[in-house]
Chains A and B, each alone.
Chain A
């Protein structure tokens, strides 16, 4: 993919005689401004037959970040599992996203997803929506989007699992009534005895009130949902918590981000909750006590 990308970059940004690697920075190394990047994204859209929403352009800092983006969007997934019997299931949040994947996979790999996960705006952690969309869906019903996506999967016979904000049996029944084949729960299982997270992390869920659950902008450039705590307040005030870089994701710039997301998530799991990023689904505040996995499974069966 790098080779094809380098070709597009050379052509689009008019660069010659500069070695382009994954580390090449568009702004600093190639002197590209925002319009150049926009032009580049248009050329990538045409070459890779993808659609890049303009609000995602800010993620494109280096050549590597573009590759990461294309991979993260699952475009090359069938190539990675070719020849094996591994099943592939893209996670999408809009009809358009699935449309692009279906079209690209069909053309380049003649393959369709084995399963599609629809992750709605009430999910925890990183979300596939812009901040504006999240605000919109807080008042607007996401059901119509699920129904739209189902119009693509039903004729193809692709099973669909709905995720994001499914907490009770009633939530599951609602999703199944819409036409989903299954649901995915995460937040509900955090507050179980069997969950291997630190007790302090589980307690943070139990203590959380609805107003404590907020949308934060993660260092990787996407919005995410988490529990407001001392750590987030300090970040808001401009404090930085960077100690060494794990080089985990190329869209992150260790020179400018306020904290290391990997470290913040490890802190949370290991119980240093006041120094951690406490990702959670929008219903986390519903937990009032620890329960057993068996009880939850009984409720849902």
Chain B
């Protein structure tokens, strides 16, 4: 039976660190409050003057994933970039990455599903590879959210960080490998987490991220366990069969609540948001890369990836590492 396998991972983070202490100087908040409510201590912030951008971070992460997989850019068939904060509406970020890394043969395009973007990208790649259209793909999540954040809104500015992560996947023919996927969207609740773009009717739009934190919290803690359970059912597995749950890194309290609802120990739910914040589509691939390079992933492990975010969008997939 054919399925897909992640053969390489990579990530790229901006140099600049912004601590909770730095944010204390911008808005009325405190390090203790932020840590208690979110689990975040500091986050990386891109420096445009130093050339750090969604495209450059994405290209770096992609090159590292290829290197990790031992592949050459010219072999790449498909490049998918998940982002909601590109520098350019045209050309798409994936084409900028293609040019930057020299993946001449690849077809490249972006998709936007906010914090579920990387997961949806991986699932889209799976469909292409499974149908035989392409043999391999680079899936990248890259964000510079710091430019979309209102640094005067203490409810949101403490949460986000910048960065990029990438994986390289190939079709594999091997029996006994697990794959199951669940995706969902709920546009009716979309405005609880939004960020407006210029349009024809609003002369001076509010172009920052706006969020109803409690509604988002409710959505995440209720929806994610449901979709993970659905993916488990599809794969005929239970939580005991899972070695690691790599979940979107939005808030440590959300992770704890999901662990509680799934009855899973936090030891099986790695986290990096302490020093990364919420990097939207980049969160899962960066976490994957960090776990991979730290030796926490072993070939044959069964892992769950699950993302959730603006849209609203959510999804889960279970795969053999």
Chain A contact residues, CB within 8 Å of chain B: 33-35, 38-39, 42, 54
Contact = CB atoms under 8 A, between A and B. Distances in A.
A39 B257 contact: yes
B37 A35 contact: yes
Nearest to B38: A35
A101 to B, nearest CB: 21
B131 interface: no
B217 A38 contact: yes
Given A35-B253, A42-B221, 6 more contacts: A35-B217, A39-B221, A39-B253, A42-B222, A54-B214, A54-B215
B47 interface: no
A208 to B, nearest CB: 38
B11 to A, nearest CB: 29
17 contacts: A33-B36, A33-B37, A34-B37, A35-B37, A35-B217, A35-B253, A38-B214, A38-B217, A38-B218, A39-B221, A39-B253, A39-B257, A42-B218, A42-B221, A42-B222, A54-B214, A54-B215
Contacts of B37: 33-35
Contacts of B36: 33
B39 to A, nearest CB: 11
Interface string B208-226: 0000001101100110000
Contacts of A54: 214-215
Interface string B30-41: 000000110000
A20 to B, nearest CB: 19
A276 B236 CA distance: 67
Nearest to A53: B214
A239 to B, nearest CB: 27
A34 B253 CA distance: 12
Contacts of B257: 39
Contacts of B253: 35, 39
Q: Which 9 pairs, one residue from A and one from B, show the smallest C-beta to C-beta distance?
A: A54-B214, A35-B253, A35-B37, A38-B214, A42-B218, A39-B257, A33-B36, A38-B217, A42-B221
Contacts of A38: 214, 217-218
A40 B37 CA distance: 15
Nearest to A38: B214
Nearest to B33: A33
B89 to A, nearest CB: 35
Interface centre among B214, B218, B222, B257, by most A CB within 10 Å?
A: B214
B213 to A, nearest CB: 9
Interface in B213-259: 214-215, 217-218, 221-222, 253, 257
